[in-house]
Chain A
Amino acid sequence: MVETLVQNIVFGLLLGALYGLAAVGLSLVFGVTKFLNVAHGELLMLGGYVSFWLFNLYHVDPFVSLPLAALALVVVGIVLYSLLFSRTVKMDEEQKVQTTMLIGFGVSLILQNLAQRLWTADDRSITTAYSRMSWTLFDIRFPIVRVVSMVVALLLVIALQQFLQRSYFGKAIRATVEDWEEATIIGIDTHRVYLVAFVIGAAFAGVAGALVSVGYSIVPSMGLEWTLVCLVVMTLGGLGSIIGTFVGGLILGVAQALTAFAVGGAYRQVVGLLLFLVVLAVRPQGLFGVKEG
């Protein structure tokens, strides 16, 4: 009984790391550009398929192809930003959120249907030679693929956090978030800052999707669920805290696992929305976010 409980918590943490990775991407984009990209889940789905096809057609190991999945989404990100999202840059914040949400819905429908057309609605997943292997510690299983995925996710999140804190361009991003006009005055091209943030967000979604395709499974319609997960985690963690958002992902993963354990798998989605409402009511700035003003 206790072992099953702990096992569920472990699985929750492992999945939660991917929630965290995906949500950090969305949170960065929203924090910097105020674009609410509801097609984030579809970007994740695309990353999953990049990885899946590279493995299936060319036998590229999914962990080796991670940079390619990221790169593919960088390209998709640049195209989406230049063609669509860049047009909303000059709007005020509220109008921007609304417009980008509409754009996002459109993009998500297109990508989802396109993926269904091209690759059918089947569930897919990558099965490598090491897919079934796991480490066992005190009778608790740690599937290797998922553990490595968690490490990758954690490393990427820390790398992003360090990039924003320490690098010169990272500082320019933080400055732009605070006051774009002041940033322009000192010579920062805010358009480029927005593009970079958007593209990093897309790349994070791509990597998360690729990891999902190895440890779990992917399907063209998975996007909406993942976008919802990201929104919940973003709210949970609070804006402006990269590590906080990642921890929010872990919390949601565990909460889902515990719900499934206690009351059955059918309720695992509900707990996220419940958490969402509770956090909004009790601590709207998120668990680790900073209160505005």
Chain B
Amino acid sequence: MLNVEHINVGYKDLQVLWDVSFQVNQGELVALIGPNGAGKTTTLKAIMGLRRPWSGTIYFEGQNLCKVPAHKTAELGIAMVPEGGRVFTGLTVLENLELGAFAPHARKHMAQTLEEMYQLFPRLEERKFQRAGTLSGGERQMLAIARALMSRPKLLMLDEPSFGLAPLLVDRIFAKIKEINQAGMTILLVEQNVRAALELAHRSYVIQNGRIVGMGTSEELLSFEFVRSAYLG
């Protein structure tokens, strides 16, 4: 479904990603794990079109994403949950969700998707007229996920959904992610919290210093000495 092929990405004269390749298949939950500053967020931004690769290509369902303007990516069926539950804090919860359905195909089904989101996250319905800035960290993360789902994506990308959350909340968010995946959503999960990500993902890629250094199922990766030492202690 998503094929990232040999991309090199950077900012001005600083290269961040080096020859990064990976793929996500339909229905899969794939994790991209690695330490802070490894290039995980940059990878997602490249897919979204917010950061153009210097070279290499990214295909989504056979279409070259590098030729798609950034604001059209959502229309193709890719949604991204930004790091740290970034939402529009000055807008209400409901307004955030409505805007999530900005892409034309999603706007037609807005009322229906909204109902689905309220079922998935009942908390959001209780707070729909509240400004998103007044939500707790966990609620914001839920809102960010729900807003992304409002676009009825084929591929959902999450950037560090565990960021800044207490362990109990991380478990709850990850359980939701699993639920969403089991309902048929293809997911690309970017995480620093390796233990949690490995437990969840079907397959994972390990990224370090802007390079993919390992790939496999969770069990296979646990045999990587450095995964164990670096992340599991």
Interface residues of A, Cβ cutoff 8 Å to B: 168, 171-172, 174-175, 178-179, 181-190
Contacts and interface: CB of A to CB of B under 8 A. Distances in A.
A198 B69 CA distance: 22
B80 A178 contact: no
Given A168-B98, A187-B72, A178 B82 contact: no
Interface stretch (B6-14, B56-64, B89-97, B203-211): B89-97
B74 A174 contact: no
Given A186-B147, A188-B71, A178 B99 contact: no
Given A172-B99, A185-B80, A185-B82, A178 B71 contact: no
A172 B79 CA distance: 17
Given A185-B73, A187-B74, A190-B71, 20 more contacts: A171-B91, A171-B95, A172-B99, A172-B102, A175-B88, A178-B88, A178-B90, A181-B82, A182-B86, A182-B87, A182-B88, A183-B99, A185-B48, A185-B80, A186-B79, A186-B147, A187-B73, A187-B151, A188-B99, A189-B69
Contacts of A178: 88-91
Contacts of A187: 71-75, 102-103, 151
A171 B107 CA distance: 14
B120 interface: no
Pairs of residues from A and B, 8 with the lowest C-beta to C-beta distance, nearest first: A187-B74, A187-B103, A187-B102, A189-B71, A175-B88, A184-B70, A178-B88, A185-B80
Given A168-B98, A172-B99, A184 B71 contact: yes
B167 to A, nearest CB: 27
Give the secondary structure class of A's interface: helix
B151 A186 contact: yes
A163 to B, nearest CB: 14
A50 to B, nearest CB: 34
B50 interface: yes
A179 B88 contact: yes
Contacts of A183: 99
A190 B49 CA distance: 14
Contacts of B88: 174-175, 178-179, 182
A60 to B, nearest CB: 39
B100 interface: yes
A178 B88 CA distance: 7
A185 B79 CA distance: 7
The listed residue with most A CB atoms (<10 A of its CB), out of B73, B75, B95, B98, is B95
A182 B103 contact: no
A146 B147 CA distance: 47
Interface string B39-53: 000000000101000
A164 to B, nearest CB: 11
11 contacts: A175-B88, A175-B95, A178-B88, A179-B86, A182-B87, A185-B79, A185-B82, A187-B73, A187-B75, A187-B102, A187-B103
Contact of A186 (B50, B69, B89, B100): B100
A171 B95 CA distance: 7
The listed residue with most B CB atoms (<10 A of its CB), out of A175, A188, A190, is A175
Contacts of B80: 185
A178 B86 CA distance: 11
